[in-house]
Amino acid sequence: MKMASVKLKRQSVFESEKSCLESCNNNDSEEDPPGKRSISDDLDDEPPSRIATTRYRFFRDIPDSLWNDWKWQFRNRITRVEQLAQFIPLSTEEQAQLRLVAMRYPLSVTPYYLSLINPDDPDDPIRKQAIPSPMEMTMGSMGLEDPLDEKKDTVVPGLVHRYPDRVLLVLTDICPMFCRHCTRKREWRNGGWVRSPAEVEAMLDHISRHKAVRDVIISGGDPLTLSTGHLESIISRLRKIKHVEIIRIGTRFPVVLPQRIDNELCSTLAKHGPIWLNTHFNHAREITPEAAEACDRLLRSGVPVNNQSVLLRGVNDSVEAQTTLCHALLRIKVRPYYLFQCDEVQGTEHLRTPVEAGIKIIEGMRGHTSGLAIPTFVIDLPQSGGKVPLQPNYVLAQTEGELVLRNYEERVFHYRNPAKLARTESPAEVLCPAGSATANVPQEAAATLG
Ligand code: SF4
């Protein structure tokens, strides 16, 4: 079905949004999910040059003041299949299928992220991350609900303590978008919760009592769905715990709702540093001017931004897609940090790739671009096994004194492997022992020394 043929009821979005904004201003408790509303527009008459971003095609009546207001974006998330069908061509049968999927794995997309989708391409890489697929159900028996066994390591509600020096703090299960590949999609049906003050106290108390904890990761659901004031009240408490050295925030807001990264948030984070922010760009088309500006605001506030992408079938599972993504990240000064093998989560099997695909991508990048552009490809092991980095194998053979290595061009090199030293010997003692210039020096090295 062509978008031009879709007939929609036109409604005065602007007028209804004015009243929505007013009601939001009267109630500033952003941690409660704002109400869900429908947005529709006439899809006709759009010049083809604007297909790259559909903001002006779908949201023509929305002025910049609302479009750039993250609370407006959040309140106007698309959460029902009927709403979605106003933007994406979906047959009646497809809509029925998606309704079934959404009953198990709900739908939520911000207008901003929706505007990045090319509605005329069913294989659009942005669409695959946001729009449900019937395969979430047809392949839904494969995988596990909680593949990382986070429940097992949960010490108090919302606090996962698996490694001695790090904890994961989950403050809410609310996200601006439900990413179809999410590891925690099991949480989506729980209706949107925010940890109560008593639960936060219990988490802080646990961290205070465990002096080995030097790194606190605040992650999702997305913690930036909380109001800046609420977030600050928790971060400032964490900062008072002397052994907590760094705080990391895991958020997809720079990707799906970059308007959230406003000056108020950035100055708050700047006050309580060192805070690191890990985000989750999966495709170069997500790096829009708005996303770039959001990252720039963070960086200027002294918050380093790293990217953790997930390898997804049909989204970014080629050398070209990953290289383009990583180059685009470097241009906005975001470091490509991890490339995750998609976890074996129920409802994501259709997006998972064979492990070999990730290794081949790294192999296709290594040597062909700067090492700074190459993320570490990792599998997060099930049953609390932790992260394991996977690399192409460059070692063709190894003996005690030598390695045979191939490089990125498949050229073979012999590399002399220095002999192991006994524990008590320093390199200086080996090369210049008392009484002899070459005593204890391996034969090859002695020959070199002459
Ligand atoms: S933002 Fe993160 S936690 Fe939320 S749905 Fe997406 S991947 Fe999952």
Q: Is 166 among the residues known to form the active site? A: yes
- Measured CA angle at 83 (ends 79, 84), to 5 deg: 80
Q: Is 387 among the residues known to form the active site? A: yes
Catalytic annotation, pick one of 60, 104, 166, 239: 166
Which own/partner pairs from 234-243 qualify as long-range (CB within 8 Å, at least 24 positions apart)?
234/171, 234/200, 234/204, 235/268, 235/269, 235/272, 235/275, 236/272, 237/204, 238/204, 238/207, 238/272, 239/272, 241/204, 241/207, 241/208, 243/211, 243/212, 243/213, 243/214
Distance (Å, whole) CA 284 – CA 74:
23
Cis peptide before 273 (omega within 30 of 0): no
- Look at 26 and 237; give whichever has higher pLDDT: 237
- Look at 23 and 79; give whichever has higher pLDDT: 79
Average pLDDT of every residue of the chain: 84
| Average pLDDT, integer, range 115-135 | 96
Q: Would you say the C-alpha torsion 66, 68, 73, 74 has a positive or negative sign?
A: negative
Whether 442 shows a pLDDT value over 60: the answer reads no
Predicted local confidence at residue 42, as pLDDT: 33
User: Letter for the amino acid at 357?
Assistant: A
Q: Is 20 among the residues known to form the active site? A: no
Predicted local confidence at residue 425, as pLDDT: 57
Catalytic annotation, pick one of 44, 387, 408, 432: 387
Write the pLDDT tens digit of every residue in 187-213: 887 778 899 999 999 999 999 999 999
Catalytic annotation, pick one of 179, 266, 295, 326: 179
Write the pLDDT tens digit of every residue in 368-391: 999 999 999 999 998 878 899 999
Whether 449 shows a pLDDT value over 50: the answer reads no
Q: What is the pTM of this model?
A: 0.83
Specify the length of the chain in residues.
450
Is the distance from the beta carbon of residue 175 to the nearest atom of ligand 1 less than 6 Å?
A: yes
How many other C-beta atoms can be found within 10 angstroms of the C-beta atom of residue 351?
Answer: 24
Is the distance from the beta carbon of residue 252 to the nearest atom of ligand 1 less than 6 Å?
A: yes
Write the pLDDT tens digit of every residue in 237-296: 999 999 999 999 999 999 999 999 999 999 999 999 999 999 999 999 999 999 999 999
User: Letter for the amino acid at 423?
Assistant: R
How many other C-beta atoms can be found within 10 angstroms of the C-beta atom of residue 404?
Answer: 14
Distance (Å, whole) CA 7 – CA 42:
7
Q: Is 211 among the residues known to form the active site? A: no
Predicted local confidence at residue 423, as pLDDT: 67
Whether 147 shows a pLDDT value over 90: the answer reads no
Report the atom number in ligand 1 closest to the C-alpha of 252. Answer: 1
